[in-house]
Each structure stands twice: as C-alpha cells, then as structure tokens.
Chains A and B, each alone.
Chain A
Amino acid sequence: MNNKINTALFVACQQCDALYDKPQLKQGQLAKCNRCGSMLIERKVDSIERSFNWSLAGLMLMLPAILLPIMGVTLAGQFHQASLFDCILVLIDRGFFMIACLVFLFAIAVPIVRLSGALYLSYCFKFNKLKPSLLNFFRAYHHLDHWAMLNVFMLGIVVSMYKLIDDTELSVNLGLLAFIFWLICSTMSAVALDQDYIWDKLEKAFAKDEA
C-alpha cells in the first residue's frame, strides 16, 4: 500500500505522529495537531524579508556585543571591566578551559553561525539564487536548534549584576545594550525563518524524480 499514498498531500505531527490532510494556509495562519496540541505547520508573514533584516542587524551588532565591555566593578579604588571576549581570554588565562569553551560555543559561536546561516538562506531566497547545496545547508542549520543560549547568558548577566551590586560599585557599559539588541536580533531571526516555506520552495526547485 506504500506506493498508493501521495505523501505530498499529507502532514504528520512531529510529536505524536498523527496524520492529517495537508492544510492550505495563508500567511500568518498556523495549523495545530488535534491530538497533542503541538504546531503542525505555520505560514509566517513576510518570512524571507524579515529574517534577512533581523539577521543582518544581528551580524552588525555582533562585534560591539562581543568586544565592548558589558560591565565593570570598582572596589577599594580599583576598577575592572570586562567584555564577552575578555571573558573568554580571562577564563583561558586562569586555566578554566571547559567553561571558556562553553561560553565561546553557546554564547558566541552558535549564535554567530545561526545568524550567518539565516542571512545566507534568506539572501539566496530574496535574490532567487537557489542552489542544490542549500538542501544540505538548511539540514545542517537545524542541528544547532537547541544550542543557542544567549537568553540564558543574559539571565546570567542579570544575576551576577544583582550579586555584585551589594558590595561593589557596579557600572554598566554600552556592551550590555549591544548584547541585549544582539539577543533580540538573533531570537527574532530564528523566529522569522519559515521552515516549511523554505523546504517547500527547495523541494519544488530540486525535486528528485520519484523512482
């Protein structure tokens, strides 16, 4: 019975495997699974345009967010401030390699790779430069879905500021502002990217002949 089913007419829920007829959605609509309530398909509004703009903005904010000092402390007349990049350097310098790697991966490398990935994808779609390599590219992009932790790092900044404010003189710098905007941009670019639309388009462009 396998060969009788036209798979293009159906969708299955990712979470509970329930099968539905593929709904035709307009921009801004989404379909939910009746059984487990998770999202089936979503057609996002103006997806390509938005993710292009957000990821471009995010990449421009990347350097100030990483290099500008986030906060500084004054204690007993001494002043010391640190940026995200200093954070890595100091951690390596003092021999905490594992945390240095983690901070680098989760708060710098993964967000940058995701932003540039989203930018490249939406650039290709915006200017109609679809290539077969995008299939592999977008598949690889999904591997990083769980590993961007800028929001957790942001909460970490807030908690450590709260900790420090008690017995030191704390000063907040431009880096914090840049970091917050960076966080917003990278979240928004991930949210704006419409997976189903991109996959559909790629499929139509490079459909393998059904042998």
Chain B
Amino acid sequence: MNTAKQLGLALCPKCRKLNSLVTEPVQCSRCNGLFYQRKRNSLQYTLAWNFAALLAFIPANLYPIMIVYQLGIGDEATILSGIGEFIDHGLYPIAVIIFTASIIVPLLKIIGLFVLVYKVHTGIRLKPDKHSKFYHMLEFLGPWSMLDVFVVALMVTVVELGFVTSVAAGPAINYFTITVIFTMFAANSFDPRLLWDKKAE
C-alpha cells in the first residue's frame, strides 16, 4: 500500500487536502494554511509536555484539592482521600468515576504516551494498528479528566452558606488542571502516522 509520503504528497491537517510537497512548510492550496508533512519534532514535543504533566501531577496529589468548612472548621481533602471518603459513605459509583477520571486517565495518558514515543523511537514490537487505536483512546479520554476541576468549581459555587457550610478549592486544583491541559497538548503533538512510517522502514 502506498502512503502519501512515499509519493511526495502531504496532507493538510486542517482541511485534509492533499498537496504535493515541494518545500517545507507547505502552503495548502485549499485553505492557505502552512503545515509540515509530519507534525514537527513530534516526539520531542510529546516527551516535553509529558514530563511537565508528570511533574505537575505530583503536587496535584499531595496538596488538598477541596477544603470543606463546617461551622468554621476546615476539613482538607486530597484527590485520594476524597475518593476514600466516597468509599466510606458507600458511594461506590461516584468513587469509581472520580478515581477513573482523576487518577487512572491522567496516569494512563502519561505512561501510554511515553510508551508510544519509545516504540516509535526504537521500533521494538511495534504494532501500528493496535497502537494507533490505543492513541485514539488516549486522545478521546483526555478532556474527561477535567471532571474533578468542574466538580470542585460547582461545589465552591453552590455550597456557599456562609458560616454554616462553605467549600474552598485547594492549591492542588491548579496543578491538576495544568496536568490535564499538558497531557492534552502532549497527545495533540504526537503524530500517529509516525507509527506506520517506522513500521514501513
């Protein structure tokens, strides 16, 4: 099977028009956008964003994410202790959802992208069909990690009953957001076509 690259063609990532590749960057003949045949320095960018995300994930788990004040007494909860509380209260479905969205998905994304970058770089046991499906799953799951941030934002807003009960966001929320956004950047900068290129070599 021929690929566009072998025939000297490049696909515009925005409007999906095939252009013949003369010089890089190519200017798309349809939408006038500038682009490269493969995402530029894809692996390096993915690695960089990934490390940054991993770094931010540490304080995101150590600092409290939500502080509940009841009659003036504050009760701090980290992401994990919050999940523990749900389990204590018997709210298993919510515990599973939050655990998936805020622990499993970010970690899976970071580790998964590291593995993909490693596989593309070395070409060891590379199965492009399986790995590109895996990449799409990672890409799809990305935004769902924002769940915890939105939940805290809503709790802060709705539970505002002055001295009786109020909720404040902890510092972890900022780090957690950074983690999620960086993993989204990391996934965006990975180019799945590299998997197939490496296999064809």
Interface check A23, CB cutoff 8 A:
no
Cβ < 8 Å to A, chain B residues 119-177? 128-129, 132-133, 136, 142-144, 146-147, 149-162, 164-165, 168-169, 173-174, 177
- Chain A residues with Cβ below 8 Å from B17 are 7, 199, 203
Say which size band chain B's interface belongs to.
35 or more
Query: CA separation between A120 and B20, bound complex, in Å?
Result: 31
Known interface pairs A12-B4, A156-B154. Does A7 touch B193 (Cβ–Cβ under 8 Å)? Answer: no
B16 touches A135 (CB 8 A): no
Query: CA separation between A17 and B13, bound complex, in Å?
Result: 11
Q: How many residues of A contact B (CB 8 A)?
A: 69
B161 touches A19 (CB 8 A): no
Contact partner, A160, options B14, B133, B154, Cβ 8 Å: B154
Interface check A124, CB cutoff 8 A:
no
- Chain B residues with Cβ below 8 Å from A136 are 31-32
**B63–chain A nearest beta-carbon distance, Å:** 14
**B170–chain A nearest beta-carbon distance, Å:** 10
Cβ < 8 Å to B, chain A residues 120-161? 135-136, 138-139, 142, 146-147, 149, 152-153, 155-157, 159-160
Contact partner, A157, options B8, B11, B154, Cβ 8 Å: B154
Interface check A195, CB cutoff 8 A:
yes
A196 touches B16 (CB 8 A): yes
Known interface pairs A36-B132, A152-B147. Does A102 touch B177 (Cβ–Cβ under 8 Å)? Answer: yes
Contact partner, B8, options A2, A149, A163, Cβ 8 Å: A2
Contact partner, B31, options A37, A135, A149, A164, Cβ 8 Å: A135
Contact partner, B156, options A2, A71, A90, A157, Cβ 8 Å: A90
Interface check A73, CB cutoff 8 A:
yes
Stretch at the interface among B40-48, B49-57, B89-97, B110-118: B89-97
- Chain A residues with Cβ below 8 Å from B5 are 17
A159 touches B196 (CB 8 A): no
Query: CA separation between A96 and B161, bound complex, in Å?
Result: 18
B residues neighboring A (CB under 8 Å): 1-5, 7-9, 11, 13-22, 29-33, 89, 91, 93-94, 97-98, 128-129, 132-133, 136, 142-144, 146-147, 149-162, 164-165, 168-169, 173-174, 177, 184, 188, 192-193, 195-197
A-B contact pairs, 24 of them (CB 8 A): A3-B20, A7-B17, A7-B20, A12-B4, A16-B195, A17-B193, A38-B136, A73-B161, A75-B161, A75-B164, A76-B161, A81-B158, A87-B154, A96-B156, A96-B169, A139-B15, A139-B31, A152-B150, A155-B144, A162-B94, A166-B91, A195-B15, A202-B30, A203-B30
